[in-house]
Amino acid sequence: MPSLSFTVSALAKVNLYLGVYATKDERGYHRVDSIMAAVGLGDTVTIAPAKELSVTMDPAADFPMEQNSAWRAAVELGRVCGREPLFDIHIEKHIPIRAGLGGPSTDAAATLRGLCAAWDIDIHDERVAAVARGIGADVPFFLYESPAYLSGAGDVMEETFDALEGMSVALVRASSKGVTAQEAYRIFDANPQPVAPIEPMLEALRAGDEQGVVNALANNLAPAAMSIAPEIVDVLAWMREQPGVRVADVSGSGSCCFALCESKEAAQSLASAASSERGWWSCATQMEKSGSNLIDC
Ligand SMILES: C[C@@](CO)(OP(=O)(O)O)[C@H](O)COP(=O)(O)OP(=O)(O)OC[C@H]1O[C@@H](n2ccc(N)nc2=O)[C@H](O)[C@@H]1O
Ligand SMILES: Nc1ncnc2c1ncn2[C@@H]1O[C@H](COP(=O)(O)OP(=O)(O)O)[C@@H](O)[C@H]1O
C-alpha cells in the first residue's frame, strides 16, 4: 500500500475564447479552439492510501462512484502505468455542475496530479496527457499553466500565457438545472454559429494586454446555452449593467456567466447583489496561475 496522502486544489475555469466549428473528429467531437483561464473557486480532492479504490463527494453524489470523473481518471492512469489505484479519493465540492466551469474535468485532473505525485510520474508524461484527453476534452487544460490555448477538440495544448493572474472575476448562475456540454453541442449542430477571429485574443494574452482580452472575449456556443437555459439572457443583461464590469459572457456551454471586473470590490458587490437582489448563485473570485495544485502531502 502506498504511504502518502495528497490534497490537491481543483480550480474551476472560464472560457475567455471559445470557437466551435461544425467539423468533427472520428469520435464525433467538434473541432474547438478554446482559451481557458483558471479561477479561484475550487473543489478540494484528497487522496489517501486504502485497500481498494473508492470515491466520495461532499455533498454526496447522486450518481454511482464508478461514473465519477475522478474514479475514471484513477482507473485509467493505473491501467496505462501498470499500477493498482488503491486510494480513498474524497472530493469537497464547491463548483456548481452543468455550469460550464469544468467541475468534473478539474476533479479528474486533480486526481491525476495526486496519483502522479504518489507514483512519482511526471505530470507532463505523454501517458498522462492521453488519459486526461480520454476522460474529457477539458481535462488536459487543468494540468498546465493558465491561461492556455487548446486546439483539436479543445484538448490539445498549444500555448500558455503569463498573464491576468489576480484579475477580478464574478461568477453568476441562475439556473438550478443548468446545461450539459452534450446538450449545448447538439443545439449548436442544429444551428451552427460563426467563429470569431482568435488572433486578437492570442495577441492580447501574449502582450499581457488586459483591455485587449476584454475586447476579444468570444463564445459561439453561448447562443446554444441560451436556448437551453433562457435565463442566461437575463443574467447577462443584468451583469453588464453592474458598476465596475468590463465585460461579461457565458462560460463555455453555460449556464454560469462570468464578468471580468475593474476591481476586487466591484466583483464582490456584483456577487452579493446577484444573491441578495436576484437570488442567484454567485461568487467573487480572481484568475489563478494553474488549474490544479498540490496543496498538502
Ligand atoms: C463546452 C466545453 C468548453 O470548455 O466545456 P464546458 O463549458 O461544458 O465545461 C468543452 O468543450 C466540453 O468539455 P468536456 O465537458 O470536458 O467534454 P466531454 O466530457 O469530453 O464531452 C461531453 C460531450 O460534449 C461533446 N463535445 C465535447 C467536446 C468537443 N470538442 N466536441 C463535442 O462535441 C460530446 O458530445 C461529448 O459527448
Ligand atoms: N467529480 C464530479 N463532479 C461533479 N459531477 C460529476 C463528477 N464526475 C462526473 N460527474 C457527472 O458530470 C455531470 C456534469 O457534467 P457537465 O455538465 O459536462 O459538467 P460542467 O458543465 O459542470 O463542466 C454531473 O451531472 C455528474 O453526473
User: Which pLDDT score is estimated for 33?
Assistant: 98
Q: Is the CB of 291 under 6 A from ligand 1?
A: no
- Using CA atoms, how far residue 200 sits from 17, 98, 110, 196, in Å, is 10, 29, 31, 10
ipTM here: 0.98
User: Which pLDDT score is estimated for 151?
Assistant: 98
User: Which pLDDT score is estimated for 176?
Assistant: 73
- Of the residues 33, 43, 138, 155, only one is catalytic, namely 138
CATH topology of domain 168-286: Alpha-Beta Plaits (3.30.70)
Nearest residue to 172 via CA among 64, 87, 275: 275
Task: Specify the residue with its C-alpha closest to ligand 1, atom 2.
Answer: 252
Active site residue 138: yes
Q: Is the CB of 253 under 6 A from ligand 1?
A: yes
C-alpha cell at 54: 473508492
Map 248-281 to HEC letters.
Answer: EEECCCCCCEEEEECCHHHHHHHHHHHHHHHCCE
Q: What is the pTM of this model?
A: 0.97
Task: Specify the residue with its C-alpha closest to ligand 1, atom 6.
Answer: 100
Alpha carbon 64 to its chain centroid, in Å, reads 22
Q: Is the CB of 70 under 6 A from ligand 2?
A: yes
Q: Which atom of ligand 2 is nearest to the CA of 95?
A: 22
Nearest residue to 95 via CA among 171, 209, 19, 29: 171
Name the pairing type of β-strands 6-24 and 218-219.
parallel
Nearest residue to 250 via CA among 16, 41, 38, 12: 16
Active site residue 122: no
Closest ligand to the CA of 44: 2
Q: Is the CB of 252 under 6 A from ligand 1?
A: yes
Q: Is the CB of 45 under 6 A from ligand 2?
A: no
- Of the residues 13, 33, 43, 107, only one is catalytic, namely 13
Q: Is the CB of 14 under 6 A from ligand 2?
A: no
User: Which pLDDT score is estimated for 175?
Assistant: 75
So where are the chain's domains? 6-161, 168-286
Distance from Cα 97 to the centre of ligand 2, integer Å: 5
User: Which pLDDT score is estimated for 257?
Assistant: 98
In whole angstroms, give the CA distance from residue 192 to residue 269.
36
10-residue mean pLDDT series, the chain (297 residues): 81 98 97 98 98 97 96 98 97 97 98 97 95 98 98 98 95 91 98 98 98 98 97 98 98 98 98 97 97 85
User: Which pLDDT score is estimated for 3?
Assistant: 56
Architecture of domain 6-161: 2-Layer Sandwich (3.30)
User: Which pLDDT score is estimated for 36?
Assistant: 98
Distance from Cα 281 to the centre of ligand 2, integer Å: 17
